[in-house]
Amino acid sequence: MADSAKKMPLGGVIEKAGSADDYFTGDWRKLKPVLDGEKCTNCLICWVMCPDSAVIVEDGKMVGFDMEHCKGCGICAVECPDKIKAIDMEEEVS
């Protein structure tokens, strides 16, 4: 009998460390975060609070989002300080 089954690792074991990086949870997203760089003070609260490590920081500055992994939960937008509000959640347009 022809076997079209996918070859899977024994018992679902993952042999590679850090493999969550290869799993693109970005396609779960309904709303996407949009950063207003003019307003952002680089307090990095969003970076601390993001459950998916999807806030990209370079040289101590918030530069954007890892859209392959951001699930669009909106925590960053909520946690961005009230006086600043540099992140908006917008409808994902496909």
Q: Shortest approach of another protein to residue 9 CB, angstroms?
A: 8
> For residues 6 and 83, which CB has a smaller minimum distance to another protein in the complex?
6
Smallest gap, in angstroms, from Cβ of residue 13 to another protein?
Answer: 5
Token pair 């009230």 is found at 82
The tokens describing 37, both together, are 């760089």
For the chain, report the end-to-end CA distance as a whole number of angstroms: 40
Q: Which residue has the tokens 């018992």?
A: 11
Residues of the shown chain interacting with another protein in the complex, contacts defined by CB under 8 A = 5-6, 8, 10-15, 17, 19
Measured from the CB atom, is 15 or 38 closer to another protein? 15
